[in-house]
Structure 1
Amino acid sequence: MKKSLAFPLAVALVAISFSAIFVKWSDAPSTVLSMYRMLFASILMLPIVWKKRAEFKKIAGKERLFLLCSGFFLAMHFALWFESLKLTTVANSTIILALQPIVSLIGGFFLFKERTTAAALVTMGIATAGAMMIGWGDLGVGRSAILGDISSFLSVVAVVGYLFIGQSIVKKVSHWIYSFCVFLSAALFLTVYNVIAGSAFGGYSARNWGIFLLLAIVPTMAHVINNWLLNYINATTISMSVLGEPVGATALAAWLLGESVVGWQIAGGLLVLLGVFLFLILKQKPSLPNERASARPLNTD
């Protein structure tokens, strides 16, 4: 992995850490939050997409189906994770989100024959253990907590599916076109669901509308950055870097939401940062053929 990619990874991490805070601030249904986030993000991207509209011709029929599937996975991810955040604390949700790089690693092995080194697995284990320490203290045993845990895990599976599709499609069109198509598809899927579920499309406070917009701008920017990064690194590396989100989200939750943070959670946060740092350092000198292929830029847009 190029050293120059560390900065966009850090920006994406900070931006995505605000997602949980915005969700906690809103009292709108999870699927409505997700729908307006994707819809507003698509609208905000229109000026750039219009300039690159010629690229739509590069998308073949089969790839259009993949884009729809990617949008479906992203819609599922947001709806399920936002729901889990309404059922538990920000810190508690991280114990499940910590499984993302593991799910991604397994999927990458079976789908793309990606391999990794023993050292990388050790660093992944360090970061995962740290993320679990952050959430373990708040792990609940009630019905709502269990539902929140299930929703969080399913959201992890969904986001890994979204990243894997992006790993293939984003190499054929710019990340702007890919992101726009996926965001718009996700918005349409969520709109259909909300119509069927009878969710209210209006009547929300100005505060909620502001949160919808903030979600579309701040954390969604991280998804655009990560889609661009898929030109250079694989989905497992991005999933690994996103493990830093629990650290940022828990720190923000303590500051902005008043959620308590104890000693082992701080220790867990330090372990996460150490594990992610060591993992990314190892990725700067790929030693396996598949790793070298993943690190090669394929689309410089």
Structure 2
Amino acid sequence: MNPSRTVIFLLLALGVVAVSFSGIFIKWSSAPAGVLAMHRLWLTAVLMLPWVWRERQELVRLTGGDWVRLCASGLFLSLHFLGWMSSFHYTSVASAMIFLNLTPLFVAWGAKLVFKEKYPARAFGGMGLALIGTALVVGGDFAWGRTALWGDALSFFGALTVAVHMLLGQNLRQRVSSTVYSFVVFVIASLVLAGYNGFADVPLFAYPAKEWGIFILLAVVPTVFGHLLFNWLLKFVKAVTIQMAILGEPVGTVLLAALLLGESVTLSQVVGGLLSIGGIVWFIRAQVTAEAEGARAAA
């Protein structure tokens, strides 16, 4: 039984709040980006083991093609985390966030090319409004210079790679359960990151208790209640819809930074936040309504 539109809205909102904590936890940590991402993913995989054991028969039924796509999805997820988390060391949080929020455009273009998906024209008005709002939230904090531009490039790379990851996930989730899909992808991504850290000669486990606390927080809050929840929703909504919802992440991060880090909130950020949320609601309502109309026409 598919969840209702209201339930989908609420779950998307919960996921956005959860992933909004990512930037806060990253700012609190001094560990390298590859280590943060690796521990975040393998700890989440460990937490999932009881549920994976119940669905172990599905692991056996995976085809060779499924394994290839799962490995590709895990690879692109690891590249996303590596690029985006690393960007925080070179550019401002705001700049990193705005480049990441180009992802819905990449997902929409990719879905149109690969899956021949169509979107109602009115939905793109919501996408445009949300992008304008996001730009207002973070646009006053761009930093220019060679170092900052490298950080911006890393964030842009993170947006491209997570778009590919989401499109692969949308395809896989039509026949693979959320638990199995997420577990395998997280394990593969953490192994890729472990290999990268080993090659770069980065310590894997020699970190103080504070850092391990942050690793656990990253696994539980933005990964379990964010990425894992979004992976489950891929069964019921398109990847671009989820990426549109994630445009609310900068709004949540700015508010959390004000509460937890004492950072100030400007009027343009408030206005941008309202526009972004309004655009997200507009896009999702237009998409869900169009799908419902299409289902009634086909009946």
TM class, shorter-chain normalised?
Answer: over 0.9
| Aligned Cα root-mean-square deviation (Å) | 1.6
Partner of 2:87: 84
Q: What are the equivalent positions in structure 2 for 1:1-301 lying under 5 Å apart?
A: 2-221=5-224, 222-286=226-290
Following superposition, the deviation at residue 228 of structure 1 comes to 0.8
Taking a change above 3 Å as real, the CA distance of residues 292 and 132 of structure 1, as seen in their structure-2 partners, is farther
In 2, the alpha carbon distance for the partners of 1:89 and 1:23 equals 13
TM norm structure 2: 0.94
Contact 1:94 1:246 in 2 (8 A): yes
Q: Where does structure 1 differ by over 4 angstroms across 4 or more consecutive aligned residues?
A: none
Are the counterparts in 2 of residues 90 and 253 from structure 1 also a CA contact under 8 Å? no
Secondary structure of the residue that 2:88 maps to in structure 1?
Answer: helix
User: What percentage of residue pairs aligned between the two structures are identical?
Assistant: 41
Q: CA deviation at 1:94?
A: 2.1
Give the secondary structure class of the aligned counterpart of 1:285. Answer: helix
Deviations 1:129-187 (CA, angstroms, capped at 9, x unpaired): 11011111000102222111111111011111111111111121210000000000000
- How far did 1:96 drift? 0.9
Q: Which runs of 5+ in 1 are unaligned?
A: 294-301
User: TM-score, length-normalised on structure 1?
Assistant: 0.93
* Structure 2: runs of 5+ lacking an equivalent: none
Deviates more, 1:15-24 or 1:247-256: 247-256
Amino acid at match of 1:79: L
Q: Deviations over 1:29-70 (max 9, x none)?
A: 000101111111111111110111011122101110110110
CA-to-aligned-CA distance 1:248-292 (integer Å, 9 cap, x gap): 011111222233322111111111011011112212311599x75
SS at 1:87 equivalent: coil
